[in-house]
């Protein structure tokens, strides 16, 4: 029974650590693409929206997606999809994309916003840190309760 009070928070801590790792890796990749990436002219092939939420009393969230196609300097044609792009880019429009030569399929058409990227990453890391602290606190509390109740149970 006591194992349950240690196992569940431990699994949650592992999930928080994985999320933090992926979040930092994503931020570093985007920052590296903005700073050191090659540029190319891409054409917007498709623009569409997806909606989420709206069940019960929740609000509906609409996300704008773009599908771009560009040719790398080596002559390779790459197609990629990106969400949360500008609403001013329509199908058939040309825009500048940035990509890393070793992974052009992870290109971005978003303009460089290092401050916004740092703020978003920092806020999410702070949230994950608070959640991890709550898990550790719960485990310490459970351990203390189990240690104090050792002599009380027959």
pLDDT along the chain (154 residues), means of 10: 92 98 95 94 96 82 95 96 92 96 93 92 98 97 90 67
Q: Residue 70 belongs to what domain range?
A: 2-148
Residue 71 lies in a domain: yes
Residue 154 lies in a domain: no
State the Cα–Cα distance between residues 48 and 39, nearest whole angstrom: 24
Residue 16 lies in a domain: yes
Exposure string for 11-37, b = 16+ CB within 10 A, e = fewer: eeeeebeebbeebeeebeebeebbeeb
Residue 153 lies in a domain: no
pLDDT at position 34, please? 92
Residue 127 lies in a domain: yes
Overall domain count for the chain: 1
pLDDT at position 41, please? 97
Per the confidence metrics, is the pTM higher than 0.85?
no
> 84: closest CA among 69, 66, 61, 99?
66
pLDDT at position 112, please? 85
Beta strands in the chain (DSSP E): 38-53, 60-71, 77-83, 94-100, 103-108
pLDDT at position 153, please? 63
């Amino acid at each position: 029974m006591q194992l349950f009070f240690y196992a569940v928070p431990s699994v949650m801590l592992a999930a928080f650590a994985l999320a933090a790792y992926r979040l930092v890796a994503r931020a570093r990749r985007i920052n590296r693409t903005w700073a050191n990436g090659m540029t190319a002219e891409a054409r917007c092939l498709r623009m569409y929206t997806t909606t989420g939420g709206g069940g019960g009393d929740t609000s509906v969230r609409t996300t704008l997606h773009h599908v771009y196609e560009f040719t790398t300097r080596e002559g390779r044609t790459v197609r990629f999809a990106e969400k949360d792009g500008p609403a001013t880019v329509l199908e058939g429009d040309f825009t500048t994309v940035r990509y890393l030569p070793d992974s052009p399929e992870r290109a971005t058409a978003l303009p460089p916003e290092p401050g916004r990227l740092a703020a978003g990453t920092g806020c999410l890391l702070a949230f994950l840190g608070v959640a991890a602290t709550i898990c550790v606190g719960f485990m310490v509390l459970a351990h203390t309760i189990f240690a104090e109740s050792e002599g009380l149970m027959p």
